[in-house]
Chain A
């Protein structure tokens, strides 16, 4: 766009004041915006701190563990995920309108954003690189079984795959299946074993020490 040199990472132009290195460009941009009074660097630190330390997939894992152990909560989650998730104290940008979709032995749900990177930030944090990558965005809708196979998950042919393409402000959280052999575990212990990828629908969970289920 405004950067004629973005493609030129290997040999930066000698006579340009626009650094091609994104680190230098962002540094220059921040200093310009601070000079103009448009941003306060301390506010930037606070925003980064929120996403590095407070908002992440442990939030989603607590929701899943509670749904597994509290049938009334699970019903509320499936009926109105926005309200049920807010009840647990999680709400915010990119999680305004939530829908939870339940994986069962017969149905496997997985979530993608083919157009960009829509993802439920308040419960899962910021998306991993693979979720934002061209291979996932292009293939999840046309070849979900192939993608899952690469992820180590071979679903039986009779399992229905539902892919949710996040085209609106509605954000999707997959409620993974509770693995067999976890009946004695507490909600806190269960939350520990719920992975980020299982809440995107990119993997199935197995009981600790049991290896991957498929």
Chain B
């Protein structure tokens, strides 16, 4: 979707401010929502692409007002309600509905590695690669209303395939319960002046990882 999350190339956000000796979490609640999201992931009701989308659909004005982990709260609540794990009434009251069944077993302390260990997106399935390193490609001029990993600034742009990462889960499908639809994922190089015009600095490029269906031959 052409959402506020797709920030590459926007102006007006000001300087980047770095914090010395930054803690991992700035408040205990940030740590709790981080951990709750991971523990809830163990129920297997959603995937990472759906989780990203749940934050992308936060309305733009709210998205910008929220801190990073406030977006996690909003996204997680959306996902839990969609998955029927909680109801909106329960979230608003903070109490389980009287007749609500008790779910078991929750992720146990000894099992947390289950949610912290690798969850690869690479799939060992035979899919033909339409491109090879060195090929000149153009990204499609597409504007999907759902989740996509093709940022706006890199649409309808010419680049060069640098590497084939193999066959990976396609987020545009996976985020919406449409299966994994695995396809080749490529590292594609774009010169800065292709993306940003002649005023862009020389000797400057952006590399993006892009799926087969985002690309066409030039």
A and B associate: yes
Q: Name A residues whose Cβ lies closer than 8 Å to a Cβ of B.
A: 1-3, 6-7, 17-18, 22-23, 25-33, 35-40, 42-48, 50-52, 55-56, 91-93, 95-97, 99, 112, 114-117, 125-126, 128-130, 132-142, 144-145, 147, 150-151, 157-170, 197, 202
Q: Chain B residue with minimal CB distance to A133?
A: B16
Confirm or deny: B129 has a beta carbon within 8 angstroms of a beta carbon on chain A.
no
Given contacts A36-B96, A47-B112, contact A2 B77 (CB under 8 A): yes
15 further interface pairs, Cβ-Cβ under 8 Å (given A1-B78, A40-B39, A150-B15): A1-B59, A1-B62, A17-B93, A23-B27, A25-B29, A43-B35, A93-B118, A141-B153, A158-B203, A159-B203, A161-B204, A161-B205, A166-B209, A169-B48, A197-B18
Q: Name B residues whose Cβ lies closer than 8 Å to a Cβ of A.
A: 5-11, 13-19, 22, 24-29, 31-36, 38-40, 43, 48, 52, 55, 57-59, 62, 64-70, 73-78, 81, 85-86, 88, 90-96, 100, 102-109, 111-112, 115-122, 149-151, 153-154, 165, 168-169, 171, 185, 187, 195-196, 200-211
A39 in complex: contacting residue of B36, B90, B96, B200, CB < 8 Å:
B36
Of B77, B118, B122, B195, most A-chain CB atoms within 10 Å: B118
Q: How far is the CA of A43 from the CA of B121 in the complex (A)?
A: 25
- List residues of chain B with CB within 8 A of the CB of A36: 85-86, 90, 96, 100, 102-103
- List residues of chain A with CB within 8 A of the CB of B171: 168
Interface CB pairs A-B, < 8 A, 25: A1-B58, A1-B74, A3-B77, A23-B29, A26-B73, A29-B76, A30-B36, A33-B86, A36-B90, A36-B100, A38-B85, A39-B36, A46-B112, A47-B112, A50-B116, A51-B34, A52-B31, A97-B120, A97-B121, A128-B22, A130-B19, A141-B8, A150-B16, A160-B205, A162-B206
